[in-house]
Amino acid sequence: MKKIQYLLLMAVLALFAFQPAKRKKVIFFGDSITQQGAQPGGYIPKIDSLSKLEGRQDEFEWVGKGIGGNRVYDLFFRFQEDVLDQKPDIVVVYIGINDVWHKTTSGTGTEFKKFGAFYDKMITKMKQAGIQPVICTPSVIGEYNDDTNLQDGDLNYYSKWIRQYAAANNIPLVDLRKAFMEYLDKHNPKNEEKGILTTDRVHLNNQGNLLVAQEMWAVLKKLK
């Protein structure tokens, strides 16, 4: 009888030992760049491909939650349904382009102080829920590499705040603004307005999606 009990115990232990580890659910939370990034060829499938190259595809579940035209307060107002109710382990926040861009296109952008306030409220709620936030600086509105894009000043200003916020709150940062500008310095010798990383000055082409994927994966794969 003891031998049978021992064998049953070993069988149960072996069963638990071979249970696959729970995948980390990663939500990408943002605007139309993320909405398109979830489509075939977008940065989210490319992140999945990068994870497969390193044999880590079974560790993550990727979920895109991007809506075109969104600003930081739009994210805040759908935060409960699209983030908290989904019970993710990690949330990658990629927002800020429309907060800056819409100031000049439609007058519906986000003032700097309000941007920070809404941003902080979301991150605080994530931490309270045990969710790991990852935050991104906004990329580009125009690809001129001589600081002459109309919104460069605001993008740099908002990006500086995000970097400081990440450092002050010990939050992993994906510095897309820095990565894009460094890439354009090297690969845009004719100082083109678009076509290097974007299709229309904002939304990503294949190379832009790859660059975002590489930058995000470099941070995500280090999270425990």
Residue-wise pLDDT for 151-203, tens only, equals 999 999 999 999 999 999 999 999 999 999 999 999 999 999 999 999 999 99
- Per the domain annotation, does 4 fall within a domain? no
Q: Is residue 88 a contact partner of residue 131, using CB atoms and an 8 Å limit?
A: yes
Q: Is residue 47 a contact partner of residue 54, using CB atoms and an 8 Å limit?
A: no
Domain that holds residue 64: 23-220
Q: pTM of the prediction? A: 0.90
- Per the domain annotation, does 135 fall within a domain? yes
- Per the domain annotation, does 2 fall within a domain? no
Give yes or no for residue 25 having a pLDDT over 90. yes
Q: Is residue 171 a contact partner of residue 131, using CB atoms and an 8 Å limit?
A: no
- Per the domain annotation, does 9 fall within a domain? no
Q: Is residue 134 a contact partner of residue 92, using CB atoms and an 8 Å limit?
A: yes
Residue-wise pLDDT for 35-92, tens only, equals 999 999 999 999 999 999 999 999 999 999 999 999 999 999 999 999 999 999 999 9
Domain count, the chain: 1
pLDDT band at 15 (very low <50, low <70, confident <90, very high): very low
